[in-house]
A and B are shown apart, each in its own frame.
Chain A
């Protein structure tokens, strides 16, 4: 089972620079989704005139399904500067990969609970790290795309764009850098030093 919890209100509000299109994913019954809090927050964003559209759907981790669901909303998505995704890390990554030129933001942190982990991801992986980094990394998960799960940029081991551990694997931070470059968001490389928090329960957060 997965639990997603909302990032803080200030964080989410700060992610929406102009207008946002909101995607809620309530696919897996095994995922506990903070429905009520998300709904309230989204109402506020709507009231502030910051939302071009909202879709509540399922299984956006499946790219084909995601596209089918989003198709009727393309005009609203075009009108938005940001796609704000309320889902687990896999869902956000799938959306970010499809809308490569758009700012795609994670509104939730994905936390681990023992047992079944929801739908098997097709290409993307989320390690339920509890403090989703996707907003700093152009929607590519540094925890699963980098062999060392680094959160502050590329190590010195990348050769020809491949990871030092596995020459068949693309270096995750090379991908993140290229994606940010494409998005015009290289400024995110200058964010403050990130320190992982392995204590993902609330008491020590």
Chain B
């Protein structure tokens, strides 16, 4: 199922994210996804997230699809040139994977193979453009495809709380022009900033899913503040998380914060995308608390 159809029906679309393991055993991932994520619309599968080499996104998508979930195939431009990307897109369509999320990808220097060649032959915008061409039955080289062309729901990402939010909006507009049909955002901890962003982004007329990373601890929040682009956890929230230290409440505060952000932002967006980062088991509780 294409998630764009649900947006069209006015549904508030909930998705979550899973990261394939660094190895070949996916039983645990599939079990967790079936147990905790089968109630939601779709599951993103990351593509060598943070430039750390792992099991492939496409293969994992197929396994999740066979398990009855709706996968969103994340595709970055870091590791493959235009020939490999297009070939993988055809493979995805052949396997019945209908949702893709196009990203430029982190630089190779950020991951566990800093010696690797960063490819970036295409970027998120030209990748979207390429998919649009494939859907019209031609490849980026101008050659005709044989038979029925692939069709995807084409997604992209945007960073609404970035300190360069105007540059991000300009890029978002370019992605829309290139064919992006829905957006998932970087994690939001500042609802006012997100709402201001949505005021400007709504002119593009594409659905946006609010990005949520459950803040597991004050330490994690501080780490993100120092190291992760586009994320800023405000001081009051840090203090709240610090107060959570007593073991009894551990973790609950993070979920309360996440639920609060969702509730506050919900009237301004068309869905939510949860990046649980290992806390998949807490997703149902979060959704319940957020009233979803």
Contact = CB atoms under 8 A, between A and B. Distances in A.
Interface string B43-82: 0000000000000000000000000000000000000000
Interface in A121-167: 147-161, 164-165
Q: Is the interface of B mostly helix, strand, loop or mixed?
A: mixed
Contact of A190 (B126, B177, B230): B177
A61 interface: no
A157 B157 CA distance: 12
Interface string A9-37: 00000000000000000000000000000
Contact of A193 (B103, B126, B229): B126
A184 to B, nearest CB: 14
A1 interface: no
A161 B173 contact: no
A151 B123 contact: yes
Nearest to A190: B173
Contact of B123 (A155, A174, A177, A181): A155
Nearest to A188: B170
Interface stretch (A75-83, A101-109, A194-202): A194-202
A148 B140 contact: no
Q: Is the interface of A mostly helix, strand, loop or mixed?
A: loop
Contacts of B177: 190, 192-193
B38 interface: no
Contacts of B186: 156
The 9 closest A-B pairs by CB, nearest first: A152-B125, A153-B171, A189-B170, A159-B229, A177-B167, A193-B129, A148-B120, A154-B167, A156-B159
Interface of A: 147-161, 164-165, 171, 173-174, 177, 181, 186, 189-190, 192-196, 198
Given A156-B168, A194-B125, 18 more contacts: A147-B107, A148-B120, A152-B123, A152-B171, A153-B174, A154-B167, A155-B104, A156-B159, A156-B229, A164-B106, A164-B229, A173-B167, A190-B177, A193-B129, A193-B178, A195-B126, A195-B129, A195-B140
